[in-house]
Structure 1
């Protein structure tokens, strides 16, 4: 199904271009890992993580899903701020992820500067107040069999004109991979996603707590200071806090436990 992208004042209009070889290699690796994924949450997390790594300028990534009753939710994201931005769109009933997740909407919704964009009169200013300026959302296409949940892959950045030529091509490829993988998993239900997400959140919280304890004991930090060290280092290394925490507890992390 071919659908035009949205446009408007401040909208991203130059998203054509070739996908670089190194990105193509990431897609090949992603395809293998997606086919090996055992559940919906794992599929979505792999796609979001790949998007965060291979899309130049991507600072926050999330996935929006729209259930058969028309309700929107965010099952996975790289940062809680991404969920907050998504929820603004759900509350205002406008925004790129809603447009892209609509079966009759555009395949691509984008903006180069939300503070000056007239596409979303309430969402745009609210998102820019939280520091998000550029965005790109592309559709996840539903499977032919029920439940036909639609969705969008959402990419956010804190500076204007963050996404250059070729970004849309890469995002569309990632969204296609996600759609195909989801079509081969068990039926997607909100309840199942929430159960899986809760289980993973508990696991992540436990390992982060262990890592904080190591830093508190060995470096004499407070719990808040220990988490700040984890968060700052994760940003520098471009990996998730939970992954860094797991490396630290396994003894394979950078020497965070030393001054």
Structure 2
């Protein structure tokens, strides 16, 4: 039996038939294949999260809409994607307005959270009633966990009551395990890409500053240290960033050289 945080007092839904379970396995395989074939290095994290939500809606039985969320600051959500407008509304109510709900509980505890009657679920009295009035009664939140750390969650919603039994929980946990790896790798690649771009900008800035220092030295005969000090002083006097001043100085030197060449 799967270990998950279930709504107290709710009975397990009627067990699915062999044919339904076989169809569920086919859907799970399609969802897993989709999420494992995502090429993370050609898409942003937000785009990948959207794909994960889409494949979750395919893989997990009885889903009317799904979303994914990433952990940000303590008890805050950093990024959210959803497959349906009503899910976007639910997520805004949960994360921005009420600060309670199955996803937040799931990310806080690291356990699957499931409800089959949100309107009577004592765990989220404000959220549950609000969502039930939207004619959405079932929720399933699955933690995205890597190395024992929760990095986000997948949320599935259904308008029917008791839509997610233990069978759906087990399938969801299988899907979430693979999805977590894809999301984690996308985050790593995104961070590495950002560091590379930052380094490239830093190297480019250093190169143009060195060129400006060379120009000052050629004009004044100053040492490298003296030329850099002079460039810094000019930057402060003109209230211009050092790299911007250096670029302006290099561009001016190039224009003068071209003018001399033409004459």
**Aligned partner (choices 121, 127, 131) of residue 127 of structure 1:** 131
Determine the C-alpha separation between the residues in 2 that align with 1:12 and 1:40. 38
Assess, with a 3 A threshold, how the Cα gap between structure 1 residues 158 and 47 changes in structure 2: closer, same or farther: same
Deviation of residue 28 (structure 1)? 4.6
Question: Aligned ranges for residues 1-259 of structure 1 at < 5 Å?
Answer: 4-9=3-8, 11=10, 20-35=24-39, 38=42, 39-90=44-95, 91-102=97-108, 105-142=109-146, 150-187=151-188
Q: Report deviation, 1:15.
A: 11
Q: Deviation per CA, 1:143-202: give whole Å up to 9, x if none.
A: 68xxx772110000111112244211121122112210122124468xx9xxxxxxxxxx
Q: Verify the 8 A CA contact 1:137 1:155 in the aligned structure 2.
A: yes
In the alignment, is the contact (CA less than 8 A) between 2:35 and 2:179 conserved in 1?
no
Indicate conservation of the 8 Å contact 1:66/1:149, yes or no.
yes
Distance 1:115 1:24, change over 3 A: closer
Is the CA contact (8 Å cut-off) linking 1:132 and 1:156 kept in structure 2?
A: yes
- SS across alignment from 2:70: strand
Q: Secondary structure at the match of 1:122?
A: helix
Spell out, residue by residue over 1:55-101, the C-alpha distance to the aligned partner (whole angstroms, 9 max, x if none): 22100101122214542245210112212112222222221000111
- Matches of 1:16 and 1:42 in 2, distance apart? 35
For 1:30 and 1:16, the matched residues in 2 are separated by 27
Name which one, 1 or 2, has greater alpha-carbon Rg.
2
Question: How many corresponding residue pairs?
Answer: 183
In the alignment, the residues of structure 2 paired with residue 158 and residue 21 of structure 1 have an alpha-carbon distance, to the nearest angstrom, of 22
- Kept in 2: contact 1:15–1:167 (CA 8 A): no
Question: Once superposed, what is the RMSD of the aligned Cα atoms?
Answer: 3.0
The structure with higher relative contact order (CA 8 Å, sep 6+) is 1
Gaps of 5+ in 1: 193-259
Residue 137 of structure 1, CA deviation: 0.5
Q: Residues 58 and 74 from structure 1, CA distance in 2 versus in 1: closer, same or farther, beyond 3 angstroms?
A: farther
Mapped to 2, the partners of 1:127 and 1:24 lie a distance apart of 27
Unaligned runs of 5+ in 2: 195-263
